[in-house]
């Protein structure tokens, strides 16, 4: 009987969705006709301009029509998406002191008809109970008012293409059977939305206070990136009148990762965010080429000299940031040496001149005392403004003339700085710290933040990168100088997510995390449960780096396997054909890009594969890539080739194996030819 009731409710909900879709299409059709008519009328009335007519109302009307069309298109997209799977859960909630039970169906968006709520948006306050409570007492809040009651039923649905496949009653946030089914599937080429499986600790991050800065330390596979994107979707829902998708910026590790996550918000019926990388931002501001992170990691992976590792460690420390700021605010500022400025403002017939003078002492007083505490460019701006205003008051200049005066004063005041080129300032700072400045046209990856900090301190920023919310992914890959610039560039609330265990080039401690959270004014949250890999893969990876407090979903699979072979390419072909037959996405994750390029040359003639360079390459079933590029992405199976003792021997190498291994959902393989690395010595060996 109950199955019939559920099927009938689904049919009714789909009818409402169809009705909404038809209304939406009709609105779009009428809106297009109105817009077309408005353009025609505007063209006919354009001659009014020559007669002094005002067309501003016409342009405003067209703008409103365009905005309405965008809203309708957005709604149509969401309704089409929801029609295939109208809802994924239901809770029966009995409010305190009430007799009737409310049946609340939960989906990716609200479905209402004649004031009846068929489906509640997963982001609505009442839906939070599904994620936060088991059966029994529960509550939710709206505008600081708390509503209490009891959850009498929690039900989860499997609906495909509008058909009810099954449903389960459970006392948990998400039934283990459903979670197992979700996790056991093959990986998609795009990251998927996870609204039906968000856990309580993840939901707390998604729904936390809008203005609270957060730093989320989440182990590999804990869902931290997906949760950050779902938080963006939540903010777009909660503050839909104040925040649009283009008001939210996400800093991604690279363009391939940006492509990988690009479907999450569209799957939730939202538009994509503004995506960029910090290196791209720095390139735009500095107008110079910047070494990629992948290039930097390749250098460390192939020739990790102690000198290089020491430099990376130093530049990754708060000590380095302190040294940089002390230099800029101390020795560098002390080189500023203004001279007296004298301007002739009038001259009589006898040759007597009236001047306006700004003495060197006057400028020094303003620069070193009055505006002490400001960055260099701010001091110059304030002095230029003050001098221009004084000049204007004496000569009665217009606002436009005053603006020109300020710019002229700024140019003159900058000339009293002996060294003005950013590259020269950087070179002087590095020499003071005992480091040589690298030769070449590219800025080293580790130095981009320093260059940007110097540029900002001396000249300010040329571009406006402002946002209303900022998402920073792979936070462990950034340096304290980078964090300093994040504070300078973005004053909006932020969420930073990452995993210190996946930092390849340096060791990051819990103390560093705490310091970073304090520095950025963030609430520190830790996610210690992985939902990605099988138990066997998770246990191997965690043991490798000494993680003993990690939880994982008890999803079993085969043990990671090691293959000894004299022909690595042939061994990989055999593994793919014999062990990965039913898998859809297999990655051969090499130590560095040079190794990946060489392996691709050997493999491309015997199997269908691609070298992962561009986002579109990710569509291939078999990919060859480096650890640095694969970071953040997941695959059904991972093969790590050439795991020789001579190649994987130090801490950096161990970190590379950890990051590469944690990309695998179902299967993990290693190959070697001579003598295997100590990091895989305990794994079962197969001789080919």
CB 626 within 8 A of CB 589: yes
What is the pLDDT of the chain when averaged over all its residues? 88
CB 667 within 8 A of CB 558: yes
Segment holding 220, helix H or strand E: none
Q: Tell me, what's the pLDDT at 195?
A: 83
Q: To 10 degrees, the CA torsion angle through 252, 255, 257, 260?
A: 120
Q: Tell me, what's the pLDDT at 177?
A: 55
CB 378 within 8 A of CB 333: no
CB 154 within 8 A of CB 134: yes
Q: Tell me, what's the pLDDT at 178?
A: 55
Q: Tell me, what's the pLDDT at 659?
A: 95
pLDDT tens digits for range 431-474: 999 988 877 789 999 999 999 999 999 999 999 998 999 999 99
pLDDT tens digits for range 169-182: 887 655 455 555 65
Is residue 574 helix, strand or coil?
helix
Q: Tell me, what's the pLDDT at 50?
A: 45
Which region, left, alpha or beta, applies to residue 221 given φ > 0 means left and ψ of -120 to 50 means alpha?
Answer: left
CB 363 within 8 A of CB 370: no
Where residue 552 falls among pLDDT bands split at 50, 70, 90? confident
Structure tokens, 666: 């179902």
Q: CB count, 10 Å around CB of 116?
A: 9
Residue 659: name the closest of 505, 518, 527, 515 by CA: 505
Mean pLDDT of 6-16: 95
**pLDDT of 35 above 80:** no
> How many angstroms separate the Cα of 167 from the Cα of each of 103, 501, 621?
15, 38, 33
Structure tokens, 331: 């020795």
Instruction: Report residue 180 CA to chain centroid gap.
Output: 27
pLDDT tens digits for range 641-652: 999 999 999 999
**pLDDT of 38 above 90:** no
Q: Tell me, what's the pLDDT at 52?
A: 47
Residue 532: name the closest of 380, 668, 688, 379 by CA: 668
> How many angstroms separate the Cα of 382 from the Cα of each of 147, 184, 198, 237, 370?
53, 62, 51, 41, 10
Mean pLDDT of 568-583: 93
pLDDT tens digits for range 244-299: 999 999 998 888 888 888 888 888 888 888 889 999 999 999 999 999 888 999 99
**pLDDT of 394 above 80:** no
Q: Tell me, what's the pLDDT at 26?
A: 87
CB 604 within 8 A of CB 632: no
**pLDDT of 550 above 90:** no
């Amino acid at each position: 009987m109950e199955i019939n009731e559920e099927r009938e409710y689904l049919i009714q909900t789909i009818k409402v969705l169809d009705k909404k879709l038809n209304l939406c299409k009709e609105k779009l059709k009428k809106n297009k006709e109105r817009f077309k008519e408005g353009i025609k009328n505007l063209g006919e009335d354009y001659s009014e301009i020559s007669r002094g007519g005002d067309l501003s109302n016409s342009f405003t009307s067209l703008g409103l029509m365009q905005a309405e069309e965008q809203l309708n298109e957005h709604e149509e997209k969401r309704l089409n998406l929801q029609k295939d799977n109208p809802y994924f859960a239901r809770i029966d909630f009995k409010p305190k002191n009430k007799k009737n039970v409310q049946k609340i169906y939960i989906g990716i968006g609200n479905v209402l008809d004649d004031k009846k709520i068929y489906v509640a948006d997963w982001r609505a306050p009442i839906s939070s109970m599904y994620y936060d409570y088991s059966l029994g007492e529960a509550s939710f809040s709206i505008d600081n008012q708390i509503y209490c009651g009891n959850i009498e039923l929690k039900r989860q649905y499997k609906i495909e293409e509008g058909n009810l496949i099954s449903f389960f009653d459970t006392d948990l946030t998400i039934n283990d059977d459903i979670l197992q089914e979700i996790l056991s599937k093959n990986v998609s080429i795009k990251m998927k939305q996870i609204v039906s499986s968000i856990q309580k600790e993840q939901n707390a991050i998604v729904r936390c206070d809008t203005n609270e800065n957060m730093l989320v330390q989440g182990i590999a596979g804990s869902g931290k990136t997906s949760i950050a994107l779902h938080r963006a979707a939540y903010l777009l829902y909660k503050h839909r009148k104040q925040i649009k998708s283009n008001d939210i910026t996400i800093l991604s590790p690279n363009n391939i990762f940006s492509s990988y996550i690009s479907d999450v918000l569209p799957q939730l019926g939202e538009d994509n965010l503004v995506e960029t990388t910090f290196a791209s931002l720095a390139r735009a501001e500095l107008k110079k080429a910047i070494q990629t992170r992948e290039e930097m990691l390749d250098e460390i992976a192939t020739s990790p000299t102690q000198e290089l590792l020491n430099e990376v460690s130093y530049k990754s420390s708060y000590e380095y940031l302190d040294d940089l700021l002390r230099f800029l605010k101390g020795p560098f500022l002390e080189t500023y040496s203004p001279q007296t400025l004298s301007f002739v403002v009038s001259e009589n017939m006898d040759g007597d001149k009236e001047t306006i003078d700004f003495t060197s002492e006057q400028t020094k007083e303003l620069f070193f005392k009055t505006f002490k505490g400001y960055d260099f460019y701010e001091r110059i701006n304030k002095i230029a403004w003050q001098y221009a205003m004084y000049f204007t008051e004496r000569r009665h200049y217009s606002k436009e003339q005053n603006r020109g005066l300020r710019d002229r004063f700024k140019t003159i005041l900058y000339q009293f700085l002996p060294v003005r080129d950013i590259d020269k300032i950087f070179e002087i700072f590095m020499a003071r710290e005992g480091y040589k400045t690298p030769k070449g046209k590219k800025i080293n990856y580790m130095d981009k933040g320093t260059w940007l900090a110097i540029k900002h301190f001396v000249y300010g920023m040329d571009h406006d990168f402002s946002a209303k919310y900022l998402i920073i992914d792979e936070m462990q890959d950034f340096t304290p100088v980078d964090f300093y610039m994040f504070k300078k560039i973005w004053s909006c609330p932020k969420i930073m997510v990452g995993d210190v265990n996946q930092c390849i080039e340096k060791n990051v401690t819990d103390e560093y995390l705490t310091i970073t959270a304090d520095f950025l004014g963030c609430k520190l949250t830790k996610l210690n449960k992985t939902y990605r890999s099988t138990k066997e893969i998770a246990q191997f990876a965690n043991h490798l780096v000494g993680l003993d407090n990690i939880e994982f979903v008890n999803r079993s699979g085969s043990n990671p396997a090691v293959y000894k072979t004299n022909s690595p390419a042939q061994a990989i072909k055999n593994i793919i054909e014999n062990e990965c037959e039913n898998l859809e996405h297999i990655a051969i994750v090499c130590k560095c890009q040079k190794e990946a390029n060489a392996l691709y040359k050997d493999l491309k003639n015997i199997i269908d594969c691609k070298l992962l360079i561009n986002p579109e390459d990710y569509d291939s079933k078999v990919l060859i890539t480096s650890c640095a590029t694969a970071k953040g992405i997941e695959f059904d199976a991972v093969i790590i080739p050439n795991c020789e003792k001579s190649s994987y021997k130090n801490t950096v190498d161990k970190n590379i194996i950890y990051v590469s291994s944690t990309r695998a959902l179902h299967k993990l393989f290693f190959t070697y030819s001579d003598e295997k690395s100590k990091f895989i010595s305990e794994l079962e060996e197969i001789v080919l």
